[in-house]
């Protein structure tokens, strides 16, 4: 009998991606499947895409827990904020909606929280026993706060108000692109953000993820911080892997779906 591998699904602005995850290795157990995010990306439309992705995998059995990331606060299975996604997500009982549709145990988590969990388990923060802050630089700024291996969910430190404005509206990598900033022009904004973050939180390590982290050699050396700051290593696999880790942990704690 084969074991029920957890499946991770990452819901992003342009694509919805999923794969079963081998938790011993921290790797995809089968090749990732990606489907474009629908133009009208309501929870119902996204649920249908997720169902299509789940059907693709023969490694996914009835007992497989499914972890799903969304780019907003998720409290007890309910989406609470939608800074950069369709506003119809707010107050959506997404976990219940997905469990009814998929007939699997489902855990829905914030995207940055999932990425942080994956980097701690298998990536740039592996073995770090202190306070780790993962930041994802993308359309917005996502954060995960993990202390001694325990995630404090929904930290939302990308929305810190700095100089009277929401930090992500100044320092996210989408702003770098929108304003055509060079790395040298963007770096002072990151410096202001990360210095503020370290002054408030005193982390032992900051991990920088998001697509732009591929180019971290162009901006991390320009920052002057007391906290070690390193690029993420799992790249765009982090959301899927972290979601699978969290779904598996949740199933072990709460027992298996029986319907
Ligand atoms: C949202 C966060 C999310 C981040 C990255 C922010 O605008 O508020 O919940 O983690 O974007 O997607």
- Kindly give the confidence (pLDDT) of every residue in the chain, 259 residues in length, as a single tens digit, with 9 standing for 90 and above: 346 899 999 999 899 999 999 999 999 999 999 999 999 999 999 999 999 999 999 878 778 999 999 999 999 999 999 988 999 999 999 999 999 999 999 999 999 999 999 999 999 999 999 999 999 999 999 999 999 999 999 999 999 999 999 999 999 999 999 999 999 999 999 999 999 999 999 999 999 999 999 999 999 999 999 999 999 999 889 999 999 999 999 888 887 665 4
For ligand 1, say whether the CB of 168 is within 6 Å of any of its atoms: yes
pLDDT computed for residue 1 by the predictor: 38
User: Of all atoms in ligand 1, which is nearest to the CA of residue 72?
Assistant: 9
Asked if residues 116 and 146 have their Cβ atoms less than 8 Å apart, the reply is yes
Q: How far is the CA of 106 from the centre of ligand 1 (A)?
A: 20
Query: Do 72 and 160 share a structural domain?
Result: no
Residue numbers of the domain that contains 78: 7-111+237-254
Decide if 2 is inside a domain: no
Q: How far is the CA of 112 from the centre of ligand 1 (A)?
A: 7
Query: Do 170 and 81 share a structural domain?
Result: no
- Rounded to an integer, what distance in angstroms lies between the CA atom of residue 76 and that of residue 94? 10
For ligand 1, say whether the CB of 135 is within 6 Å of any of its atoms: no
For ligand 1, say whether the CB of 111 is within 6 Å of any of its atoms: yes
Strands (E), the chain: 7-11, 15-22, 27-28, 33-36, 66-70, 74-75, 78-79, 106-110, 131-137, 141-147, 150-152, 161-162, 165-166, 205-209, 229-231
3-state SS of the chain: helix, strand, coil percent to 5?
40, 25, 35
Query: Do 242 and 218 share a structural domain?
Result: no
Task: State whether the Cα torsion 90-7-257-259 is positive or negative.
Answer: positive
- Rounded to an integer, what distance in angstroms lies between the CA atom of residue 189 and that of residue 184? 10
pLDDT computed for residue 259 by the predictor: 45
List the residue whose alpha carbon is closest to atom 4 of ligand 1. 142
* Total domains, the chain: 2
Query: Do 150 and 222 share a structural domain?
Result: yes
> What are the DSSP calls for 9-39, one per residue?
EEE-SSEEEEEEEETTTTEESS--EEEEPPS
pLDDT computed for residue 3 by the predictor: 67
List the residue whose alpha carbon is closest to atom 12 of ligand 1. 71
What CATH number does the domain containing 159 carry? 3.30.420.40
Cα 162 to its chain centre, rounded Å, is: 23
């Amino acid at each position: 009998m084969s074991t029920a591998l957890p499946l991770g699904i990452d819901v992003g602005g342009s694509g919805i991606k999923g794969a079963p995850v081998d938790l011993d290795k921290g790797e995809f157990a089968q090749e990732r499947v990606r489907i474009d995010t629908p133009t009208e990306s309501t929870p119902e439309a996204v649920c249908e895409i997720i169902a299509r992705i789940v059907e693709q995998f023969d490694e996914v059995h009835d007992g497989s827990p499914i972890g799903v990331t969304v780019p907003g606060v998720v409290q007890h299975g309910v989406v609470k904020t939608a800074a950069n996604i369709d506003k119809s997500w707010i107050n959506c009982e997404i976990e219940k909606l997905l469990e009814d549709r998929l007939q699997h145990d489902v855990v829905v988590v914030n995207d940055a929280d999932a990425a942080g969990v994956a980097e701690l388990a298998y990536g740039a923060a592996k073995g770090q026993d202190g306070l780790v802050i993962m930041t994802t630089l993308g359309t917005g700024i996502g954060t995960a706060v993990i202390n001694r291996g325990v995630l404090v969910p929904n930290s939302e430190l990308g929305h810190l108000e700095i100089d009277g404005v929401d930090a992500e509206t100044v320092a996210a990598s989408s702003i770098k692109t929108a304003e055509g900033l060079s790395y040298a022009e963007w770096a002072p904004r990151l410096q202001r953000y990360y210095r503020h973050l370290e002054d408030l939180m005193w982390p032992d390590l900051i991990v920088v993820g998001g697509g732009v982290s591929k180019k971290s050699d162009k901006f991390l050396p320009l920052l002057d911080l007391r906290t070690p700051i390193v690029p993420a290593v799992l790249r765009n696999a982090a959301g899927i892997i972290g979601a699978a880790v969290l779904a598996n942990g949740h199933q072990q704690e709460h027992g298996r779906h029986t319907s």
